[in-house]
């Protein structure tokens, strides 16, 4: 089932008011209130002609971008009636209310509820419910009564008296049909299809077939379809954090049951709290791994409710928890005589999720291998919330080291820090070096491990010289990872020394 609302703002009905846009051909009326329409003004009329009729006409400039934002916001608000809504610019909203009407006492009860609440916002609306999107669209805009419900058996009779504009045709096709005397939908229904298609193209037949239900029409909502949703409505509006937390506890439990039955886990969930004044508050949540632990989800969501009482307005009347992104998560049994459960004993995902919840996703990261021989390029950090496979670090180390088994330091300095080094021979490890004004005498050294530059890189920070790395140990037992940047050559500057890491 589809529901469409065509809305317009109720502005000072006692005085004529028009909205205008400015173009190369002058200023034209794009919208007007009831009082202005009663005086004979129409969209498309020039402002000069309108002023000539009524000099005291109230005029305001139209804001199409603002109107579109407001329409999308209203479509989002309508998600308290159905999770699948979309804006139909310039003045309409469509909802897929399949399986939702019974929550409001049926289709008539839902329509009455929507009309009453829109009226409370200062908006007048024409509403229609029909089996197809096209019929609902046409009835909402062209039916004689402002609220209309159509059923499959009445579909043909409801469409027949409507003007052909109800079929969402292009202006050119409408004008051509009207010239032939085909002004109503009923004039087209019984006409031979082949001549109509040959003269007016496929658009006419497609619009007619989708309106009559002969052909399916896709519906793309603002939010992607979600198959796992838990909802609850409150007898009285709630404004306290404690009340919201109780609702969250119930919703996470219901959602976890749905996910468990489906063998799924949630990576991203979204909590929406619908206020009685028409707006809603959104609390998004992402986890590092798929989970369906209700206690874990409840704890994370409740940690994000710090200022919910200040944002409650006159109270929340409903809440919805949706699993936006899900993954397969079969149950596991670790012991022969143990219970079946979801997470392992050594799983640190709950800890990571709490850290992300506290510090943000960009501050809690994990390292991933990168195909580069340059040590500082051999890895990258990504948020723990980013979905990645399990990295094979030993295989990565063998790849970047060409199969050799060179030790790598636990701490890598970024960027490498320059040192003053003295070597006994040009190609030998340093005998002593000074780092951060602290002298170190080398007692043991291993190397070199030569790493050539990545000549295929073109950006400025790419290394252009060959590096010789040494693992050295000083008199105090401290172990360092040093490298000589460049080779000793007859021409050119002498190589520089750097410290790149510290071994444990």
* For the chain, domain boundaries: 1-16+57-212, 229-328, 367-400, 411-502
Residues 6+ apart with CB under 8 A from 103: 110, 233
Residues 6+ apart with CB under 8 A from 395: none
What pLDDT does residue 133 have?
A: 94
The secondary structure element, H or E, covering residue 34 is helix 34-38
Whether residue 271 contacts residue 251, with contact meaning beta carbons closer than 8 Å, is answered with yes
Whether residue 58 contacts residue 52, with contact meaning beta carbons closer than 8 Å, is answered with no
Task: Report the predicted TM-score, pTM, of the whole model to 2 decimal places.
Answer: 0.56
What pLDDT does residue 1 have?
A: 44
Greatest C-alpha distance within the chain: 103
- CA-nearest of 293, 303, 268 to 350 is 293
Q: Locate all alpha helices (DSSP H) within 127-240, ordered by sequence.
A: 133-142, 155-159, 171-179, 185-189, 193-200, 202-212
Burial environment of residue 143 by CB neighbours within 10 A (0 to 12, 13 to 18, 19 or more): buried
Whether residue 283 contacts residue 305, with contact meaning beta carbons closer than 8 Å, is answered with yes
One CATH from 3.30.1490.100, 3.10.20.30, 3.40.50.720, 2.102.10.10 for 229-328 = 3.30.1490.100
pLDDT, one tens digit for every residue, the chain (504 residues): 444 544 444 445 578 899 999 888 889 999 888 888 888 899 889 999 999 988 888 999 999 888 898 999 899 889 888 888 999 998 899 999 998 888 889 999 999 999 999 988 888 899 999 999 999 999 999 999 999 999 999 999 999 999 999 999 998 999 999 998 999 999 998 888 888 888 888 889 999 999 999 998 888 888 766 779 999 999 899 999 999 999 999 999 999 999 999 899 999 999 999 988 778 888 999 998 899 999 999 999 999 998 898 888 889 999 999 998 888 887 766 565 655 555 555 678 888 888 888 888 888 888 888 877 788 888 888 888 887 777 777 777 777 666 566 678 888 898 899 999 998 887 889 999 999 999 999 999 988 888 888 777 755 555 678 889 999 999 999 999 999 988 776 556 778 899 999 997
What pLDDT does residue 7 have?
A: 44
| Strand spans (E) along 300-407 | 316-328, 365-369, 379-383
What pLDDT does residue 191 have?
A: 87
- CA-nearest of 153, 113, 112, 150 to 134 is 150
Which CATH architecture is the domain 1-16+57-212 placed in? 2-Layer Sandwich (3.30)
CA distances from 313 to 78, 275, 280, 321, 499 (A): 18, 7, 10, 20, 58
Q: How far apart are CA 23 and CA 27, in angstroms?
A: 6
| Strand spans (E) along 292-377 | 316-328, 365-369
Query: Within 10 A of 71 (CB to CB), how many other CB atoms are there?
Result: 18
Q: What is the DSSP letter of 339?
A: P
What pLDDT does residue 96 have?
A: 93
Dihedrals φ, ψ of 44, to 5°?
A: 100, -20
Compute the CA torsion angle 402, 405, 411, 413 (nearest 10 deg). -40
């Amino acid at each position: 089932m589809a529901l469409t609302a065509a809305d317009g703002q109720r502005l000072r009905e006692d005085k004529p008011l028009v909205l205008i846009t400015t173009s190369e051909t002058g200023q034209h009326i794009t919208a007007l209130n009831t009082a202005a329409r009663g005086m004979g003004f129409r969209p498309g009329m020039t402002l000069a002609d309108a002023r000539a009729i009524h000099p005291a006409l109230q005029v305001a400039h139209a804001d199409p971008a603002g109107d579109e934002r407001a329409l999308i916001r209203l479509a989002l608000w309508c998600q308290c009636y159905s999770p699948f809504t979309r804006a139909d610019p310039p003045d309409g909203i469509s909802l897929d209310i399949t399986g939702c009407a019974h929550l409001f006492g049926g289709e008539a009860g839902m329509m009455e509820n929507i009309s009453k609440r829109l009226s409370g916002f200062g908006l007048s609306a024409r509403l229609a419910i029909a089996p197809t999107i096209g019929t609902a669209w046409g009835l909402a805009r062209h039916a004689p009564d402002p609220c209309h419900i159509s059923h499959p058996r009445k579909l043909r009779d409801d469409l027949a008296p409507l003007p052909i504009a109800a079929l969402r045709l292009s202006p050119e096709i409408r004008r051509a049909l009207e010239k032939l005397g085909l002004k109503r939908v009923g004039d087209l229904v019984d006409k031979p299809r082949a001549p109509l298609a040959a003269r007016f193209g496929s658009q006419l037949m497609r619009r007619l077939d989708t309106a009559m239900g002969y052909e399916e029409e896709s519906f793309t909502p603002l939010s992607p379809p979600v198959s796992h949703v838990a909802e609850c409505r409150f007898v009285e509006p709630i404004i306290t954090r404690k009340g919201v937390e109780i609702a969250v506890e119930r919703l996470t439990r219901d959602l976890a049951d749905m996910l468990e039955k489906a063998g799924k886990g949630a990576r991203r969930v979204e909590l929406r709290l619908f206020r009685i004044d028409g707006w809603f508050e959104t609390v998004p949540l992402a986890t590092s791994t798929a989970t369906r632990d209700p206690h874990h989800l409840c704890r994370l969501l409740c940690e994000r409710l710090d200022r919910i009482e200040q944002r409650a307005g006159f109270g929340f009347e409903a809440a919805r928890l949706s699993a936006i992104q899900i993954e397969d998560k079969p149950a596991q049994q670790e012991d022969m005589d143990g219970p079946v459960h979801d997470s392992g004993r050594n799983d640190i995902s709950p800890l990571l999720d709490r850290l992300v919840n506290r510090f943000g996703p960009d501050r809690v990261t994990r390292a991933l291998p990168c195909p580069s021989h340059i040590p500082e390029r051999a890895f990258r950090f990504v948020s723990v919330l980013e979905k990645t496979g399990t990295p094979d670090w030993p295989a990565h180390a063998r790849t970047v080291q060409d199969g050799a088994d060179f030790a790598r330091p636990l701490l890598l300095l970024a960027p490498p820090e320059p040192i003053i080094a003295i070597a006994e021979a040009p190609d030998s490890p340093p005998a002593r070096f000074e780092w951060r004004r602290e002298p170190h005498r080398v007692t043991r050294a291993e190397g070199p491990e030569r790493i050539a530059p990545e000549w295929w890189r073109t950006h400025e920070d790419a290394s252009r010289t060959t590096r010789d790395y040494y693992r050295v140990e000083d008199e105090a037992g401290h172990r360092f990872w040093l490298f000589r940047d460049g080779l000793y050559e007859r021409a050119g500057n002498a190589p520089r020394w750097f410290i790149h890491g510290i071994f444990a």
